[in-house]
């Protein structure tokens, strides 16, 4: 994994968020406050600007710039959560550039910030699913899609969606869908790290 591959990964993530902004907000309208698409778009635009301006030269620094940009610009709970993920990945990247280690560090970062447990219909479900699959070299698009689909039948007990109780069942979790774009973009750019 080199700096250019990681930059390509994050740029593709930004493109997927941009292309699916309305879909993400629609998902959030069902169980949240309807702004996840716009929030994430604002975050990834700031991320791309700052990565271009600051020209980070290590993977750790790329993740740090990304963390700060998302944290300051997303605005909703996803800001601190994605920010904590990338900050944890930035710290981890200084000791290991193994992708499975980085994503696991990110998952732990989100969990420490949001204090969610697995199966509460939050983004940690997909982060740990992807981290586990990477560990055993079995990450495929199917793993990502299944992790997203699995949130549909869960009842949210954390975050805004938890106010809906049982009515949260039957809807995809927007943060899991946006995380899915991050991992799809990752697979497309870091094929060499998966096998």
Partner 1 sequence: MISLILVSHSKMITDGLKQMIDGMANNSNVNAISAGGIANGDFGTNPITIYDAIMTELQSEKILIFTDIGSAVLSAETAIDMLESELQNKVHLVDAPLVEGAFITAVQITDLSCLNDVIAEVEAI
Q: How far is the CB of 107 from partner 1 (least distance, A)?
A: 17
Taking residues 135 to 174 in sequence order and writing x for each that binds partner 1 by CB under 8 A, - otherwise, the string is ------------------------xx--------------
Under rule CB under 8 A, which residues in 27-56 are in contact with partner 1?
35, 39, 42
Query: How much is the CA Rg of the chain, to the nearest whole Å?
Result: 15
Query: With binding defined as CB under 8 A, does residue 68 bind partner 1?
Result: yes
191 with 47: CB under 8 angstroms?
Answer: no
- Distance of alpha carbon 148 from the chain centroid: 12
What 8-state DSSP symbol labels residue 2?
-
Nearest to 148 by CA among 182, 116, 117: 182
Nearest to 64 by CA among 89, 82, 41, 40: 89
Q: Of 113, 124, 180, 185, which lies in the binding site for partner 1, with binding defined by CB under 8 A?
A: 113
Both tokens assigned to 154: 């869960």
Query: With binding defined as CB under 8 A, does residue 79 bind partner 1?
Result: yes
Q: Of 76, 174, 175, 180, which lies in the binding site for partner 1, with binding defined by CB under 8 A?
A: 76
**Residues lying near partner 1 in the complex (CB under 8 A):** 35, 39, 42, 68, 71-81, 83-84, 113-114, 159-160
């Amino acid at each position: 994994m080199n700096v250019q591959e990681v930059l390509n990964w994050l740029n593709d993530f930004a493109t997927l968020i941009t292309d699916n902004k309305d879909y993400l907000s629609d998902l959030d309208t069902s169980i949240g406050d309807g702004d996840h698409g716009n929030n994430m778009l604002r975050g990834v635009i700031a991320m791309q600007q700052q990565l271009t301006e600051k020209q980070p030269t290590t993977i750790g620094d790329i993740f740090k710039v990304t963390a700060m940009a998302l944290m300051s610009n997303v605005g909703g709970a996803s800001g601190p959560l994605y920010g904590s993920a990338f900050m944890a990945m930035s710290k981890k990247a200084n000791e290991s550039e193994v992708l499975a280690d980085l994503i696991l560090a990110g998952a732990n970062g989100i969990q420490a910030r949001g204090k969610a447990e697995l199966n509460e219909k939050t983004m940690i479900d997909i982060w740990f699913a992807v981290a586990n699959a990477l560990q055993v070299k079995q990450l495929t698009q199917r793993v990502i899609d299944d992790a997203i689909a699995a949130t549909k039948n869960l009842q949210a007990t954390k975050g805004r969606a938890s106010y809906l109780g049982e009515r949260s069942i039957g809807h995809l979790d927007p943060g899991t869908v946006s995380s899915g774009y991050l991992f799809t973009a990752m697979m497309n750019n870091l094929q060499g790290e998966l096998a």
